[in-house]
Amino acid sequence: MKKIRFTKVRLFFQIIYTILTNGYIYGYLNGKIYKGTLKYACVPGLNCYSCPGAVASCPLGALQSALNERNLQVPFAVLGFLFIFGSIFGRFVCGWLCPFGLLQDLFYKIPLFKKKKQLPFHKVLKYGKYIVLVALVIVGSSFLFEGFAKVPAFCKYLCPSGTFFGAIPLLGTNASLQAQAGGLFSWKLGVLIFLLLLSIKVYRPFCQYLCPLGAIYGWFNRFSLVQIHWDKDSCVSCGACKKACPVDLPPEKISVSPECIKCGKCVDACAKGCLHFKKKRNMEEKSCNPSGRQTD
Amino acid sequence: MKSKLIVFLIISMLLTGCAGQGNDEPKLEQMEGTESSQGSTDSAPEQDNIRNDSTDNAATDNQVYILEFEATTMEGETMTSDVFADSKLTMLNVWATYCNPCLSEMPYLGELSQEYDKAEFQIIGIISDVAENGDEYSIELAKDLIEETGANYPHLPLNQSLYTNLVGAVTAVPTTFFVNAKGELLGYISGAYPKESWEEIINGLLSEME
Amino acid sequence: MGFFQRWSKKAWTVGLGIGVIFLIIGARMDQFERFYRKAIMICLECIGIG
C-alpha cells in the first residue's frame, strides 16, 4: 500500500508557498514594497506586509492596525479572514502555510546539538502564546499610546518574522533606512537571532511558546475542516506516532490539540495506517471518526 | 559541541553589536529621475517614476526630476507646483495619521516652518493615508493631528496627481523630499529626525545654493 | 456524545459562514482600506526601525 510521504510533500509545499506569497522580485531588487490590490487580502500565516516580496497582508498586522484606530471598533474584516482560515485549516496553517514556521523547520534540520522537542516547563510555557496575544496584540495595540498615535505592539516589539522578512531585506536595499536602525532594531534582531539559534535545538520554539496567531488558530483546531483522523480500532498502541510527533502528542490528541500543527509526520510513522488526513486532502482511505464508526 | 555553541554566541553578539550604532547622521539620497509623467488616469503609479540611487554616487544625476502636481490643501485652497517658486528650498514631508515617528517630528517641523523666512524655506505636508475626497472621519482625524502637533504649515491630502508624481514611489513613512525653486527634486530622506538634524540639512542645502 | 461528534464535524461550516459575514460587515465599515493603506505604506516604527 503506497502512502504519500507527507514529510517530503510538506517541505516542498512550504517552499513553493513561501515563494508564491513573498516572491515579488521587483521589491527585493529595488528595496520597495508591493502596492497592488492583492494587499487587500490577508494570507493565513505570519507574513509581514513590509517584506519587499510580500504580495498580501499579514492577518496579525491587519488586526493590530484595526485596533490602532482612535475610535476602537470590532475588527470584523480581519476576524473574517481569521474565522475562514481557522475553520478550514486550524493550525494546518502553521504546519504548511507560514514562512516563519518554514524557517524554524529548516533550522531544526541543521545537524547540531541534541534535538529536543520541547523546553523544560513546557506545560506552563506553552501558555506564553496566549499571554503574547492578550498583552501585545490585543491590549497593547488597543490602548498603548506612544506620542500621538497607538502602535502595533506585537509587530513593533516582538515579531521575528517581520524582522527577518521585512526589516532585514529593507535595510539591505535602502541606505537611508540604515541610519534609522537604533536600539529597537537591536532588540528585535536579538530576539530573532535567539529564536533561530534556539530552533536548531528545540522544535519551533516561537510556534510553541510565543506565536499569537498559532494561539488563535489553535482554538479552531478541533473544529476545522482539515483534520488528521485516528482509526482507534486499528490502533495497536505502539507509540510510533507520538515518537514521530514533533510536539509529542499521543494519538487521541493528534489534530484536536491546540498544539498540533497537522504536519503529517504521525501519518507517515503509523505502520498500521490508522492516521490519515480527510479524504478531501488527496487520501486513499475513507476517514473514520475517533469512535470508530463510519460517517457519511 | 560546546565550542560550536560559543562560536554561535560570538557571531550573534557581533551581529547585534553592529546594529546598535544608534541614529547616525541622516544622509540625503540623491535622485535619478525619469521625466515626470503627466497626471494620467493610471490608478497605480509607475514605480520607475522616481528611482533611488542607493549607492553613494553623489553627483551622477543624468536627468533631474522636475516635480509637478496639482492638489488642494486641508483648508480647501488649490495648490500647484508653482508654489515651489515662492522659496529657495521647499521641504515636502510625507506622513500618515497612523505613524508615530511622523507625528513626533511634526512639532519640530512646525517650529522650523516659523523660523525661516518664507522666501528662503517652506514646508508642505503630504498626508499619505487621507484622500482629498476621503471620508469625514479621516479628514477630521488629520485636522486634529495637525492641531495637536502644532504643524501649522500647509498640508495636502493625497490625490491622483500627488500619487502619480511623487507618493506612489514612497515605500515607508515618514519620507521627506527637498525641492528647489525650479521644482527640481534634490533628494529624499526616509525616517524621522530630531530638530537639530533637520536644521543641519536645511542649512546645508541652503548654503549650497548660494 | 454522538451529537457532539457529529456537530464538531460540521462546525467548520459555521465558522466559515461567520467568517464570510464578518468580511462583508468589515467591507461595509471600510475596514479593508485601513489595513491596506498600512500595508502599502509602512510605518518604520512598526517593523522596528526608527
Task: Look at residue A293 and tell me if it is in a domain.
Answer: no
Share of chain C above pLDDT 90, in %: 48
Provide CB contacts within 8 A for B104, sequence distance 6+.
A147, A148, B192
Q: Which residue has the higher pLDDT, A39 or B6?
A: A39
Q: Which domain covers residue A242, as residue numbers?
A: 228-281
Contacts of range A106-114, beta carbons closer than 8 Å, 24 or more positions apart: A107/A196, A107/A199, A107/A200, A108/A199, A108/A200, A108/A203, A108/A204, A110/A200, A112/A200, A112/A201, A112/B4, A113/A200, A113/A201, A113/B1, A113/B5, A114/A201
Task: Look at residue A286 and tell me if it is in a domain.
Answer: no
Instruction: Give chain C's count of helices (H) and strands (E).
Output: 2, 1
Contact B170 C41 (CB under 8 A): yes
Contact B186, B31 (CB under 8 A): yes
Query: How are beta strands B89-95 and B175-180 bridged, if at all?
Result: antiparallel
Task: Look at residue A170 and tell me if it is in a domain.
Answer: yes
Residue type, C13: T
Give the number of other Cβ atoms within 10 Å of residue A241's Cβ: 25
**Comparing C-alpha atoms, which of A215, A219, A212 is closest to residue A61?**
A212
Question: Residue C37 pLDDT more than 60?
Answer: yes
Gap between the Cα atoms of B183 and A286, Å rounded: 71
- Does residue A257 sit in the same domain as residue A213? no
Q: What's the pLDDT band for C5 if we cut at 50, 70, 90?
A: confident
Contact C46 A35 (CB under 8 A): no
Give contacts of B96 with chain C, Cβ < 8 Å: 37-38, 41, 43
Q: Is B27 on the interface with A (CB under 8 A)?
A: yes
Task: Look at residue A195 and tell me if it is in a domain.
Answer: no
- Does residue A63 sit in the same domain as residue A128? yes
- Does residue A27 sit in the same domain as residue A142? yes
CA dihedral C31, C42, B127, B34 (to 10 degrees): -130
**Scanning every residue of chain A, which has its alpha carbon at the shortest distance from the alpha carbon of B43?**
A36
- Does residue A237 sit in the same domain as residue A182? no
Which chains have 3+ CB pairs within 8 A of A? Answer: B, C
- Does residue A211 sit in the same domain as residue A253? no
**Average pLDDT value for chain B:** 77
Task: Look at residue A89 and tell me if it is in a domain.
Answer: yes
User: What tens-digit pLDDT sequence spans chain A (296 residues)?
Assistant: 456 788 889 999 999 999 999 999 989 998 889 999 999 999 999 999 999 999 999 999 999 999 999 988 899 999 999 999 999 999 999 999 999 999 999 999 999 999 999 999 999 999 999 999 999 999 999 999 988 999 999 999 999 999 999 999 999 988 878 888 889 999 999 999 999 999 999 999 999 999 999 999 999 999 999 999 999 898 999 999 999 999 999 999 999 999 999 999 999 999 988 999 865 343 334 444 444 444 44
Cα A48–Cα A52–Cα A58 angle in degrees, nearest 5: 20
Identify the burial level of B165 via C-beta atoms within 10 angstroms of its C-beta, where 0-12 means exposed, 13-18 middle and 19 or more buried: buried
Tell me how far the alpha carbon of residue B89 is from its chain's centroid: 14
Select the residue of B23, B99, B135 nearest C43 (Cβ to Cβ): B99
What is the structure's pLDDT at C48? 82
Gap between the Cα atoms of A58 and A152, Å rounded: 12
Q: Residue A246 belongs to a domain with what CATH number? A: 3.30.70
Contact C40 A185 (CB under 8 A): no
- Does residue A146 sit in the same domain as residue A43? yes
Domains and CATH numbers, chain B: 27-209 (3.40.30.10)
Provide CB contacts within 8 A for B92, sequence distance 6+.
B123, B124, B125, B126, B166, B176, B177, B178, B179
Q: What's the pLDDT band for C9 if we cut at 50, 70, 90?
A: confident
Contact B110, B96 (CB under 8 A): no
Total number of domains in chain A: 2
Gap between the Cα atoms of B172 and B154, Å rounded: 21
Give contacts of C43 with chain B, Cβ < 8 Å: 96, 98-102, 172-173
- Does residue A214 sit in the same domain as residue A255? no
Best residue of C34, C38, C41, C47 to probe chain B, by most B CBs closer than 10 Å: C41
- Report how far apart, in Å, the C-alpha atoms of A248 and of each of A107, A123, A260 are: 19, 12, 9
Give contacts of B137 with chain A, Cβ < 8 Å: 71
- Does residue A72 sit in the same domain as residue A213? yes
Gap between the Cα atoms of A265 and A255, Å rounded: 12
Residue type, A70: R
Our CA-based measurement puts residue B54 at a distance from the nearest CA of chain A, in whole angstroms, of: 6
Identify the burial level of A165 via C-beta atoms within 10 angstroms of its C-beta, where 0-12 means exposed, 13-18 middle and 19 or more buried: buried
CA dihedral B101, B102, B107, B109 (to 10 degrees): 120
Reduced DSSP (H G I as helix, E B as strand, rest coil) percent helix, strand, coil of chain C, to 5: 80, 5, 15
- Report how far apart, in Å, the C-alpha atoms of B147 and of each of A190, A222, B110, B156, B194 are: 38, 51, 10, 15, 20
Contact A176 B44 (CB under 8 A): no
What is the structure's pLDDT at A98? 97
Question: Residue C27 pLDDT more than 60?
Answer: yes
Select the residue of C30, C38, C45 nearest B100 (Cβ to Cβ): C45
- Does residue A95 sit in the same domain as residue A186? yes
Q: What's the pLDDT band for C8 if we cut at 50, 70, 90?
A: confident
- Does residue A132 sit in the same domain as residue A185? yes
Q: What's the pLDDT band for B128 if we cut at 50, 70, 90?
A: very high
Q: Which residue has the higher pLDDT, A280 or B88?
A: B88
The grid coordinates of residue A254 equal 493528534
- Report how far apart, in Å, the C-alpha atoms of B6 and of each of A34, A205, B1, B3, B93 are: 40, 21, 9, 5, 47
Furthest-apart CA atoms within chain A: distance in Å: 64
Give contacts of C49 with chain B, Cβ < 8 Å: 191
Gap between the Cα atoms of A42 and A57, Å rounded: 4
Radius of gyration of chain C (CA): 18
Radius of gyration of chain B (CA): 19
Contact A192, A161 (CB under 8 A): no
H or E, element range at A93: helix A92-96
What is the structure's pLDDT at C10? 86
φ, ψ dihedrals at B179, nearest 5°:
-130, 145
φ, ψ dihedrals at A292, nearest 5°:
95, -15
> Helix, strand or coil for residue A228?
strand
Task: Look at residue A132 and tell me if it is in a domain.
Answer: yes
Contact A184 C50 (CB under 8 A): yes
Contact C41 B192 (CB under 8 A): no
Q: What's the pLDDT band for B134 if we cut at 50, 70, 90?
A: confident
DSSP line for A247-275: T---TTTTTTSTT-----HHHHH-TT--E
What is the structure's pLDDT at C14? 95
DSSP letter for A225, please. S
- Does residue A209 sit in the same domain as residue A148? yes
- Does residue A49 sit in the same domain as residue A98? yes
